[in-house]
Amino acid sequence: MTADGSNIFAEAAQDYRAQRDRVAQPAPAPLSPRAARLSARILRLGTFEPELSGRHLVKGWLDQGSLSVVYGESNVGKTFFCLDVASHVVAGKDWHGSRIPSAAPVLYVAGEGGRVLRNRLCALEETLPASRCEDFALLQATIDLHASGDWKVIAEVVSQWLQKPVLIVIDTLARAMGSGDENVARDVGNLIRNLDHLRSATGAHVMLVHHSGKDAAKGARGSSALRAAVDTEIELTRTDDVIQAETRKQRDMEVGATFTYRLKDIRLGTDEDGDPVSSAVVEPCDPVKKKKRLTGKTEVALLALDDAISATGKVMQDTSNYPVNRRCVHIETWKQTCRENHLTDGESSSSFRTAFGRAQEKLQDEGFIRIKNSMVWRVEE
């Protein structure tokens, strides 16, 4: 015992035990490079503050660097919608009341469209400041984002043509799937992984243009792996000539934001015969009451009719029996397209006739189609 009352023997024993414990514990093994990178990203609760500054690309609709899908039925105007969003981002102009923080470059990757898409861009050019047009880049090419190579190529192309793009639009997902199948979760997973790489390499938000499934109430076509992966889903629906965009999924924002618009004709010039050539741009309008949505086989039959009209429809010369401004197809052509779209799963011809007859009757009763002299047309296209 020392003069101050401390026990030098107890203190020595305590020091010894502490030293012994330090020696007994082996030194931690060095981390692998991957583990070291992950370890550096570990955060403990209480060591960081909430992030209050916005990271939106289009406030209330799209976040910077995230992944979205815009989907809807054929000919609903998906490309017009995406071009309108892209043009506002390039111009740095608020998108119909939703804030866009600053002007920034956009890449639009189009796997289809050709001359028609270029005309749409020419119509859009009239709404853009001339100084911003060079920051809107169009890439018309067939790409494969299911395989591992093309996302790298796109990132390289972007670095050559644009400085820090904030939006890359892929129009359409189906054209960008390469050998992959959009109905197979593994293939969609490969697509998502490559899009994640593209987003990481460029810092851009990636927007996919896609189609509705046979049952539009179930959302975008194909594997549910897509819906699970995206941050934002925007559905487009049409009532008469009014189109409505609505957010159906938001990872970090409220769902249910809506925007309604019509397509306004823009005259571009005349062709070699002196006939007018035009395209269209988005023009905001008031919403209208939606019509009852079709489901099941009736919807499949109507979509098949749209496909048949798009492929072979023609305006009839006999305006006393047929509409002046509607394309028509023969009912047998419609039937064949219904078969190709698997209106029924069974192979029985009688089951097909029953399903087709019921769908045809309902579409007529609901006022979606008209039939005369074996020719059928949509009441509204």
Instruction: State pLDDT tens for residues 341-354.
Output: 889 876 678 889 99
Residues 305 and 356 reside in one and the same domain: yes
Q: Distance (Å, rounded) from C-alpha 348 to C-alpha 354?
A: 10
* Cα angle value 175/255/57 (rounded, 5°): 65
> Once rounded to an integer, what is the mean pLDDT over residues 5-22?
62
Residues 202 and 104 reside in one and the same domain: yes
> Once rounded to an integer, what is the mean pLDDT over residues 360-368?
91
* Contact between 273 and 335 (Cβ < 8 Å): no
Q: Distance (Å, rounded) from C-alpha 227 to C-alpha 182?
A: 12
What is the token pair recorded at 142?
Answer: 């067939």
What is the token pair recorded at 234?
Answer: 């925007």
Residues 116 and 262 reside in one and the same domain: yes
**Distance from chain centroid for Cα 366:** 30
Q: Is 1 inside a domain boundary?
A: no
pLDDT for residue 197: 97
> Once rounded to an integer, what is the mean pLDDT over residues 11-16?
65
First CA to last CA distance, the chain: 102
Last residue in a domain, options 262, 284, 306: 284
Amino acid identity, residue 267?
R
**Does position 19 have pLDDT exceeding 80, yes or no?**
no
* Contact between 84 and 281 (Cβ < 8 Å): yes
Looking at residue 173, what DSSP letter applies? T
* Contact between 343 and 359 (Cβ < 8 Å): yes
CATH number at residue 125: 3.40.50.300
Residues 260 and 372 reside in one and the same domain: no
Q: Which domain holds residue 71?
A: 56-284
pLDDT for residue 17: 65
**Burial profile 338-367: b = 16 or more Cβ within 10 angstroms, e = fewer:** beeeebbeeeeeeebeebbeebbebbeeee
Residues 331 and 182 reside in one and the same domain: no
Q: Is 50 inside a domain boundary?
A: no
Q: Distance (Å, rounded) from C-alpha 240 to C-alpha 289?
A: 10
In the chain, the percentage of residues whose pLDDT exceeds 70 is 89
Among residues 50, 69, 361, the alpha carbon closest in space to that of 212 is found at: 69
**Does position 381 have pLDDT exceeding 70, yes or no?**
no
pLDDT for residue 29: 84
Query: What band does 5 get if pLDDT is binned at 50, 70 and 90?
Result: low
CB count, 10 Å around CB of 188?
Answer: 24
**Does position 167 have pLDDT exceeding 80, yes or no?**
yes
Q: Is 108 inside a domain boundary?
A: yes
**Does position 4 have pLDDT exceeding 80, yes or no?**
no
Instruction: State pLDDT tens for residues 85-121.
Output: 999 999 999 999 999 999 999 999 998 767 888 999 9
> Once rounded to an integer, what is the mean pLDDT over residues 119-124?
90
Residues 246 and 132 reside in one and the same domain: yes
pLDDT for residue 32: 92
Give the CA radius of gyration of the chain: 29
344 vs 52, higher pLDDT:
344
Last residue in a domain, options 234, 259, 284: 284
Residues 200 and 342 reside in one and the same domain: no
Q: Is 15 inside a domain boundary?
A: no
Instruction: State pLDDT tens for residues 204-255.
Output: 999 999 998 776 667 788 999 999 999 999 999 998 899 999 999 999 899 9
Residues 220 and 316 reside in one and the same domain: no
CATH number at residue 333: 1.10.10
Q: Distance (Å, rounded) from C-alpha 124 to C-alpha 126?
A: 5
Query: What band does 156 get if pLDDT is binned at 50, 70 and 90?
Result: very high
> Once rounded to an integer, what is the mean pLDDT over residues 288-304?
84
pLDDT for residue 87: 95
Number of domains in the chain: 2
* Contact between 166 and 204 (Cβ < 8 Å): yes
Query: What band does 257 get if pLDDT is binned at 50, 70 and 90?
Result: very high
Residues 196 and 228 reside in one and the same domain: yes
Per DSSP, the three-state class of 376 is strand
Residues 69 and 158 reside in one and the same domain: yes
